[in-house]
Amino acid sequence: MPRSPLLQTLRPVRGRLVASLLLMVVSTVAGLVPLIGIVELARILLPAASGSPVDAGRAWVVVWVSVAALLVRLATVLGSSWLSHVADLDLSIHLRRLLVARLGRVPLAWFTERNSGTVKKAVQDDVAALHHLVAHSVMELTAAITLPSVVAVYLFVVSPPLALVTLVPLALGLVGFRISMRGAGALYRDYDAGLAELAAATVENTGGIAEIKTFGATGQAHRRLAEVATRFGGFNRAWMRHSAFGMLLMELALTPALTLVLVLGGGVWMLRASWITGPDLVPFLVLGLAMTAPVTVAGYAARELREATEAARRIQRLLAEPELPEPSSPRPVPASSRVELHGVSFAYSPGAPPVLHDIDLVLEPGTVTALVGHSGSGKSTLAKLLPRFADPTTGRITIAGVDLREMTSAQLYEQVSFVFQDTGLLRTSIRDNIRLAHPEAPESEVRRAAEAAQIAGRIDELPRGYDSVVGEDGQLSGGERQRVAIARALLSDTPILVLDEATAAADPESEALVQRALSRLVAGRTLLVIAHRLSTVTAADQIVVLDEGRIAELGTHDELLARGGRYARLWAADQRAHPVDGWAEEESA
């Protein structure tokens, strides 16, 4: 039988949680002792009204036991709270370390298939969802179960018939709760799906407001948001109608007034029938009301338990993501930058159709190889296999004869760096972003890389210069972010470089600066590039034309134009759209 994802997630702090639960049970019982003491004192003192002698010794025992119980309750509730909060803190740290460690070992392609919100939800939101459960709800649920159980046992010892009467409201409340929760599993799933749809529609409406207004689609976008909101509101109303009777029954049954009426009515009747004595009625009046109060607390705790279970399921799903295999006996660092692809095919998941088919290609040291083709031809997928975002389904990729899978990640990234279309900068200083691959790089090298990347002037304009934090001390344009990434690649100084549509985000004003920075970056390196414009790779040593994941043509710019095939048609279309040449020609000049 598979282990519950919640129990599996809580396993590192299981011992402390169990100890905290036991202390909470003791605390709950100790908290009842003074109330029972009041009842027992009443049963000792009430006979004195009719002239019976008072057992003073027994009365003092009750008083001192009650005082001792209060001290025990104080100690145990503090101990339980301390243990649960320490367990919560340790669990949060433990889970975040596990998640970050796992994220550091999954294939880089995993991140390209998901947005940052997915990672943030797992590492931040889902771990936070466990906080209230571990620190509070488990303790509250334990107390909510222990309190009525202990009271019921005590009342049954005093008078079983009247104890049964006292349990009637609790039984009715539980029936009402069961009725209100019919089909709750499916309803909660529909609720989560509706909430996600509403969130997506809201983000779409606000995040794309510029495009919506530009193309006159404001009314259409608002209608879609209104429709989603109306549908979600209708679902909630239907759920309320579905659970209304059960909730009404539960609320009525659990009111203290009903318990009081039943206890008084049943107690008076039993007094007349001589089933109980007057003092026997006191514990039911004092403790009977405590029977129903915890049910509401248990309901809230059950909801938080459901949410925590879902969060734990997502955490365990992420922790089960397959890691990128690391070699147990890595090969020595390659001596040259010759890259070979032997029969490389790739599919994104087992059973999925391949998006690359039998790619054979050689990148000689110090040469430029350009990948071109229509959108969806497999250019980006092929480019991302070289920095090992994923492993080929079949075939192999080698550097100087060493398979990428026989190199550690550290070894690989000493050989390969990349500048991709979606430039990723960390929310830290510009300096730390540039020296990401070499954290100990001296200031002079950082500045030299920034100057070579044509970004030094812009950095100096920021409020704190190289200490400026990305996203806080100023916003960088797409072209500026790319030039920071180029400076980072320059500082890493790897012999092999992958450029995936590196000028796609460049604004017109900075494109020339990006082109000059790229010219310096690629000098003397083995380069695999996907150009946004074919005119930027006319001087490439070889151009690979991809079509539906296969190599359709291979040759130099002049050779491919002379053939009059796919490349010639792509060139003609590119010239009509972008007649200006770029960095490759600048490099060859």
The CATH number assigned to the domain holding 416 equals 3.40.50.300
* Beta strand pairing call for 550-555 and 356-363: unpaired
Report if residue 47 sits inside a domain: yes
Which of 15-24, 30-39, 51-60, 74-83 is predicted least confidently? 51-60
- The vertex-251 CA angle with 250 and 257, nearest 5°, equals 115
> Residue range 25-47: average pLDDT?
84
The predicted-structure confidence for 470-485, as pLDDT tens digits, reads as follows 877 777 877 788 788 8
Report if residue 284 sits inside a domain: no
Report if residue 546 sits inside a domain: yes
Mean of the per-residue pLDDT values of the chain: 81
The predicted-structure confidence for 259-313, as pLDDT tens digits, reads as follows 888 888 888 898 888 888 777 888 888 887 777 777 777 767 777 787 788 888 8
Specify the pLDDT at position 214: 46
Which of 137-151, 152-166, 196-210, 408-422 is predicted least confidently? 196-210
Report if residue 244 sits inside a domain: yes
Q: Do 307 and 437 reside in the same domain of the chain?
A: no
Which of 113-117, 183-187, 193-197, 377-381 is predicted least confidently? 113-117
pLDDT at 585 > cutoff 70: no
The predicted-structure confidence for 210-261, as pLDDT tens digits, reads as follows 544 444 445 555 677 778 888 888 888 888 888 888 888 887 887 888 888 8
Q: Do 110 and 146 reside in the same domain of the chain?
A: yes
Q: Do 264 and 361 reside in the same domain of the chain?
A: no
> Residue range 562-581: average pLDDT?
80
- Give me the torsion for CA of 364, 368, 369, 372, rounded to 10°: 180
Specify the pLDDT at position 511: 54
- How far apart, in whole angstroms, are the C-alpha atoms of residue 549 and residue 373? 10
Can you read off the two tokens belonging to residue 346? 């790739």
Specify the pLDDT at position 207: 53
Q: Do 419 and 524 reside in the same domain of the chain?
A: yes
- How far apart, in whole angstroms, are the C-alpha atoms of residue 334 and residue 114? 32
Q: Do 154 and 175 reside in the same domain of the chain?
A: no
Q: In sequence order, what are the beta bridge partners of 497?
A: 417, 527
Q: Do 130 and 174 reside in the same domain of the chain?
A: no
Identify which of 77, 98, 95 has the alpha carbon closest to the alpha carbon of residue 87. 95
Distances from the Cα of 251 to the Cα of 11, 170, 176, 188, 583, angstroms: 36, 11, 8, 22, 74
Q: Do 262 and 305 reside in the same domain of the chain?
A: no
Distances from the Cα of 116 to the Cα of 110, 120, 142, 194, 248, angstroms: 11, 6, 37, 22, 43
Report if residue 235 sits inside a domain: yes
pLDDT at 46 > cutoff 90: no
Confidence bin at 97 (pLDDT 50/70/90): confident
Q: What total of structural domains would you count in the chain?
A: 3
Specify the pLDDT at position 20: 92
In the chain, what is the greatest distance between 2 CA atoms, to the nearest angstrom? 124
Specify the pLDDT at position 211: 45
Report if residue 286 sits inside a domain: no
pLDDT at 374 > cutoff 60: yes
Q: Do 358 and 498 reside in the same domain of the chain?
A: yes
> Residue range 385-401: average pLDDT?
90
Q: Do 208 and 95 reside in the same domain of the chain?
A: no
Whole-number percent of the chain with pLDDT over 90 = 13
Q: Do 180 and 154 reside in the same domain of the chain?
A: no
Can you read off the two tokens belonging to residue 37? 């003491």
Between 571 and 1, the higher pLDDT residue: 571
Specify the pLDDT at position 438: 82
> Residue range 51-56: average pLDDT?
76
CATH code for position 34: 1.20.1560.10
Between 133 and 542, the higher pLDDT residue: 542
Distances from the Cα of 202 to the Cα of 206, 234, 300, 533, angstroms: 6, 18, 28, 36
> Residue range 111-129: average pLDDT?
69
Report if residue 285 sits inside a domain: no
CB 373 within 8 A of CB 536: no
- How far apart, in whole angstroms, are the C-alpha atoms of residue 285 and residue 219? 63
Burial of 5 (0-12, 13-18, 19+ CB in 10 A): buried
pLDDT at 582 > cutoff 50: no
pLDDT at 203 > cutoff 70: no
Which of 454-458, 499-503, 529-533 is predicted least confidently? 499-503
The predicted-structure confidence for 420-446, as pLDDT tens digits, reads as follows 766 677 888 888 888 887 888 889 988
- How far apart, in whole angstroms, are the C-alpha atoms of residue 281 and residue 271? 9
Confidence bin at 1 (pLDDT 50/70/90): very low
Q: Do 398 and 450 reside in the same domain of the chain?
A: yes
> Residue range 25-35: average pLDDT?
89
Specify the pLDDT at position 505: 46
CB 384 within 8 A of CB 109: yes
> Residue range 521-548: average pLDDT?
81
Which of 133-137, 207-211, 364-368, 375-379 is predicted least confidently? 207-211
CB 107 within 8 A of CB 404: no
**Most confidently modeled of 18-27, 274-283, 293-302, 459-468?**
18-27
φ, ψ dihedrals at 377, nearest 5°: -80, -10
Q: Do 428 and 529 reside in the same domain of the chain?
A: yes
pTM of the predicted structure, to 2 decimals: 0.62
Report if residue 58 sits inside a domain: yes
248: containing domain: 168-275
φ, ψ dihedrals at 566, nearest 5°: -60, -45
pLDDT at 588 > cutoff 70: no
> Residue range 303-326: average pLDDT?
81
